[in-house]
Amino acid sequence: MDTSDITVSARFPQGRARPFVMVIFGASGDLAHRKIMPAVYELCCGKAWPAKTLVVGYGRAELDTGGFRDGLRQAVREHARSAFDEGVWRDLAGRIHYHRGEYGSREDFERLRARLESLTAEADLPPNYLFYLSTPPGQFEDVIAHLGASGLARKGAAGDEPWSRVVIEKPFGRDLDSARRLNGLLAEVFDEAQVYRIDHYLGKETVQNLLVMRFANSVFEPIWNQKYIDHVQITAAETSGVGGRGSYYDSAGALRDMLQNHMMNLLCLVAMEAPASLEADAVRDEKVKVLRSLRPIPPDCAAFGVIRAQYGPGEADGRTFRDYTGEPGVAAGSSTETFIALKLNIDNWRWAEVPFFVRTGKALAQRVTEIVIQFKPVPPVLFNRPPTGPMQPNQLVVRVQPDEGISMRFQVKQPGSPLKIEGVPMHFGYAGTFGRKVPEAYERLILDAATGDPTLFIRSDEIEAAWSFVMPILAGCDRVRGRALPRYAPLSWGPREADDLIAAGGARWHTPAAMDPRQAQR
């Protein structure tokens, strides 16, 4: 029996998603080409994409449908995880269309409505619409307002037919007020059950596996608390600089670009209580409780206790890096951070006095996202004192990317005598265990939106709770705006001040090692 067929049917249940029309706003942009359409192609390869479903790209670029298809074909060849299958692509391409229009034009949205009505009638499809906003965030409000004014968006329960749903990429607002304003506009046009605020980290297999690991294994849940855990580290590091995103990044920085969304979501999944069920609202209720339990960081503390830095110029690993302030699109003398590190506390019974150390940045030593659970050391008797101690505490490392997996470090006796103890890792890797590439996050998230499952998407109150926590930090950073930020060398692990931050808590940052046992560094 071909086990890949079993995997496809279990991973992507067939028959759940009814045919619909996926309308991608910003279809000529980078995200649609690198992530969205390769994910759609993979769903077609896995027979999870309803056979008659149409894709309509909406953009300002002067393209026709033929040129749009040609560009997507090249993008799929370059970015899809599977080998290119001409037959699969030919079938998908025949259902791809392009519609040129402006995001602020009521007339262009009226023309889009007429086009969709014509296409659905010709293909004998119900007018079920999944609107995907992959535009710059400055266009979100125009698109949402015109979806409502044109009648394309229809309020109603997520499962009612014909249905309409909207997927919105981050960043969702740039502060609490703008997030509330955007939520308010969405509420005028859609019901909350129709809104899918996407964070691609939540679609990654290892992130989802956090809940399974915690709540499906009796060995972990009893020790997942302040009695046994010393501290938690969350790292999201990129080796690239800001590249061509300088103008956007300089208006956002690591705080808005990563901390408010990705890092907060990872924190919630690590710290949340067991939900009453796997229903979407039960899971999201517990995440919101974590955010509301975060100990506030006042602006005065944020100004000096939150570590912010920028990468400087240099050459590393055969690459030349400009100083951040010399990147195209970055303002001269900018004090926008490309690196941030801070200590968080969750004031509830489970996590009382357990610090969470968080760091994220550009131009760091390794592209990696991981969560490290460091357990408390064993008592300083028997083995954990000279001559065999002190020993490294046990660690559980959850690797989110790139080589997704889980590693546990524990103590063993080296063969022979005298008695010598060494910490060794035990690894689980998705690719090695299951013998294939892990599906991309966008595959899962797009399919969930198509089938009406919002579990892995962000609810409005979660967005606002995260912004409420971040706002005093932003205010504190603004008070010292203009002060020169510390610099760190390209492809290092960031500034010395970040090491001092965690050292003050009696710890040090975990240095990521490969999850493949053959490459593991002891």
CA 290 to chain centre: 18
Catalytic, 97? Answer no
Token pair of 372 as six digits: 């490290």
CB 463 within 8 A of CB 173: yes
Cis status of the peptide bond prior to 127, with omega within 30 of 0: no
Out of 33, 99, 200, 262, the active site residue is 262
Q: How many CA atoms lie within 13 A of 284 on its CB side?
A: 20
CB 338 within 8 A of CB 242: yes
Partners of 321 in the β-ladder: 314
CB 169 within 8 A of CB 134: yes
β-pair type (356-361, 368-375): unpaired
β-pair type (405-413, 421-429): antiparallel
The torsion of the CA quartet 266, 228, 407, 262, rounded to 10 degrees, works out to 10
Cis status of the peptide bond prior to 486, with omega within 30 of 0: no
* Distance from C-alpha of 267 to C-alpha of 290, rounded to nearest angstrom: 8
Cis status of the peptide bond prior to 328, with omega within 30 of 0: no
* Distance from C-alpha of 237 to C-alpha of 256, rounded to nearest angstrom: 15
First and final CA of the chain: distance in angstroms?
A: 39
Active site residues: 262
